[in-house]
A and B are shown apart, each in its own frame.
Chain A
Amino acid sequence: MFACIYIPDFPVEAIVRAEPLLRARAVAVLEGKPPVVRVVSINEKARRLGIKTGMTKLQAAIFAAPGEHSTAILRQRSMEREASAHSALLDVAHAFTPRVEDTAATMLLLDLAGLERLHGAPTQMARALALRVSLVGLKANVALATNPDAAMHAARGFRGVTLIPAGKEAQRLGALPLAVLLDAFQTSASNNSPADSDREKQREQMLDTLDRWGVRNFRTLALLPEHALASRLGEAGARLRQLARGAGMRTLVLCEPASRFEEAMELEFPVETIEPLAFILNRLLEQLCARLEARAFAAQELHLRLQLERRVTDAETLAAQDLSNDSHNVRQAEHSLRLPVATRDAKVFLKLLQLELAAHPPGAPVTKVSITAKPAPPRPAQRGLFLPISPETEKLEITLARISAVVGERRAGIAGLLDSHRPDSFRMDRFMTTSEESKHTKHPTASYIGKQPSLALRLFRPAWQLRVRLVEGRPVTLTAVATPSDRAGLRGRIVWSAGPWCSSGDWWSENGKLESAGKDQSRPWNREEWDVALANGNDGGVALYRIYRDPASGRWFADASYD
């Protein structure tokens, strides 16, 4: 058993998929460069209004009065949307069976042999396929037959779901017009034909010849004698007769399932603010997540590419540029999201993208949006029964993005200790709730002691520069040169001191190389540390600080207090 999924009026369907509100309206799709812009596809409602394919834009505009609900909507053809729709169709097919032929942009053939135990009877399979296609936003004709060509003709000729029992092909297909047969014949033989114009010419000639013979549907063609037909129309004639009888069998040319999930939309008018862009992102993400779900995937990585409107500052420069070379001057903004766990929740992605765009605005009006998802296996929903509470991963990601918007980039996360004796050496890592590997790679000192609470340091970032008076090599008074406005000044008499503790490191590094690399963590350091108790105020209070002297510059700093 073979199935065929056919999307009639595909350019219209691709646009309606991106803008579902247009489903209830008459839509006509235009193509071409002004002044030769013509209607290339229309839906049933537009057909009823009187719009026909091949009309000029001006002729179609008569049916599209602005502001009136009953009139038609004219849209420019979008190859991006058609590509996305076709990819979605392929995802649906590959989720159903691995044996799929990508016959055309509008049509797929599926081999359903052996799938009865998985998907049920052929009727159920046909309905399930139609339902799955509708879930990705497309309206399709689905037909099942014992051979791929019969299924293809039935999908092209009959609306909705069609099931042709074995042996009834000629009977069911008999009433279909010959145009359906010739269209399908051209589609299946398109790889061998030299050019579109030649194929169209051959089709018109064949149709005209058969019409003059009085052959206008499948049934009359199937009744013609094979030898006589072959002698007049050649091999194509015999093949057409065989197809009209619903007979014959061929092998499907199978295609590989795509490993790339991308949804794109070209905007008719540039979008300048994030709020309207969010609606577009939401739509694209919903489509993307539906495709991922159809293939039982989730996404851990998401890439957003925004094509920005080119800002023209010099009119002469613009005039000098060739319009056909615009693609070389396209400005783009790219954003990437990387989640700790795979998900296909469009709302989570949308919120994260909104926060990302709020933190890094595109800087120019957006003309095209493209979202690519890297597929990953979905995470198991079941967690351990006795695990302690932890934040929900998706919710936590949004919270972290919001926190970053408040405190700044890379100021919220996990402090990872570096393998160095340099004071305050750490790196900020991403905070994750499901860090399975971290359980095995803990810092050696990270084991819980739990016996004796220990003294801790409170660091001053950056260290405060001090003026220190020494007596016999020991500090006796100190005064901070400058302290933050909200902190009490650090000054007073040192009532107790211990030190110095001399330490240095990274003196073996080459200064030039490291400075060019811009790595502060690798610059040489040298310090003489003192622990001091400083009498502050008149109440006799004492606070403990760690101060140090930089031998290279001779300057003193306070970098921490003991607490």
Chain B
Amino acid sequence: MPSVATLRAHLESSLPESLSSTLLMRERAAPLMVSSGVAAIDALTGGLPRGALTEISGPDSSGRTGVMMTALAGATHRQEMCALVDASDSFDPASAATTGVDLDRLLWVRCNDMLQRKSGALSAGLGRLEQVLKVTDLLLQAGGFGMVVLDLGDIAPECARRVPLASWFRFRRAVEPTATMLLLVEQEPCAKTCASLVVRLEREAVCAHEIWTPRKGERVVAGGESGVPENNAVSHAALLRGMWVRAEMVRCSAPSRAQETIGWDTRWMQGKPVQPAGVNFELRATW
């Protein structure tokens, strides 16, 4: 019995005139990849794709915000206009400026739940999510942004999962013909197949001592309990110095670049890595 692909090829070749071009599957061009600003993630994924939805997920204190701000710093450094839809009003402009974000090129939209609370019709979390979706729609319709970031990092996964898949699909279709990078920061992946790239972050270790800082590229051995160093005497010298983060690529719809970059010729199967591939990198405190 011929496969679907064989039948399709046979039909398309035998009826080239009768089939409308809109019915034919077009070969999608590989998205243009742009550096995320984190060399380790670039090595893992080949960068962030333009005209696609990228998810960066992870629990609290896993480095999601640091990666997001580094990506924004790169985009604003390229003189692109960026937008941040902040679902929880948790963006810290001082951190962003320290990371290198040009704040003059960043539109910060601070969602809140005051209106919904007044009406009492919706729960607070869902109200903010509705605002996020409406604002994102408006931003994507306006066009011209190099990067649009949806920060759902403090939204509980059960709330984020209530966003209908149709919304993510709509966003993906809206950015596809553009050069806009749509970045979604969250605790758990929720856009499913609409995301072209899903990266999961986890904290490996916390650096609190100057002498404890590992060398670059070296595998970090978690110190003490849960990757946190043993408690120390009260001292200013023991303030947080940074943390090591492990990034894993959960999904990538354009594996060729990553394969070329990392050389995983045999580890890919149907667009998914056969075994989790990860890299470690350090997020260093700059204060």
Footprint of B on A, CB under 8 Å? Answer: 387-392, 395-396, 398-400, 402-403, 406-408, 411-417, 423-424, 426, 428, 431, 433, 435, 438, 442-443, 445-450, 452-461, 473-474, 484-488, 495-501, 531, 533, 535-536, 540-544, 560-563
Contact = CB atoms under 8 A, between A and B. Distances in A.
A487 B154 contact: yes
B91 interface: yes
Interface of B: 37-38, 59-70, 73-74, 76-81, 88-104, 106-112, 114-115, 123-125, 128, 131, 134-135, 138-139, 141-146, 153-156, 159, 179, 203, 206, 208, 224-232, 234-236, 238-240, 242-243, 281-286
A95 to B, nearest CB: 34
A426 B104 contact: no
Given A407-B110, A459-B92, A496-B228, A388 B125 contact: no
Contacts of A446: 97, 100-104
A351 to B, nearest CB: 13
A474 B235 CA distance: 11
Nearest to B80: A388
Contact of A403 (B80, B92, B135, B239): B135
B135 A411 contact: no
Given A390-B81, A446-B101, A448-B73, A531 B239 contact: yes
A81 B113 CA distance: 46
Contacts, number: 261
Contacts of B90: 458-461
Given A389-B80, A412-B107, A495-B231, A407 B131 contact: yes
A453 B92 contact: no
B234 A455 contact: no
A406 B131 contact: yes
Contact of A411 (B61, B112, B285): B112
B89 to A, nearest CB: 5
B106 A414 contact: yes
Given A402-B138, A542-B226, A544-B243, A485 B123 contact: yes
**Mostly helix, strand, loop or mixed at chain A's interface?**
mixed
A452 B153 CA distance: 22
A497 B231 contact: yes
Nearest to A408: B112
Given A388-B80, A455-B283, 19 more contacts: A389-B81, A390-B144, A396-B144, A403-B109, A406-B135, A407-B111, A412-B110, A414-B103, A416-B93, A424-B94, A446-B102, A450-B77, A455-B286, A456-B68, A461-B90, A485-B124, A496-B206, A498-B234, A535-B225
Nearest to A537: B59
B144 A411 contact: no
B98 A454 contact: yes
A496 B229 contact: yes
Nearest 10 CB-CB pairs, A to B? A486-B125, A391-B144, A415-B93, A448-B77, A563-B65, A438-B104, A543-B60, A399-B142, A448-B100, A456-B65
Contacts of B114: 408
27 contacts: A388-B80, A388-B146, A391-B143, A407-B110, A412-B109, A415-B108, A424-B94, A428-B108, A442-B104, A446-B97, A446-B101, A448-B100, A452-B284, A453-B63, A454-B70, A456-B65, A457-B94, A457-B95, A459-B90, A460-B90, A461-B89, A496-B230, A498-B208, A500-B234, A533-B206, A561-B60, A563-B65
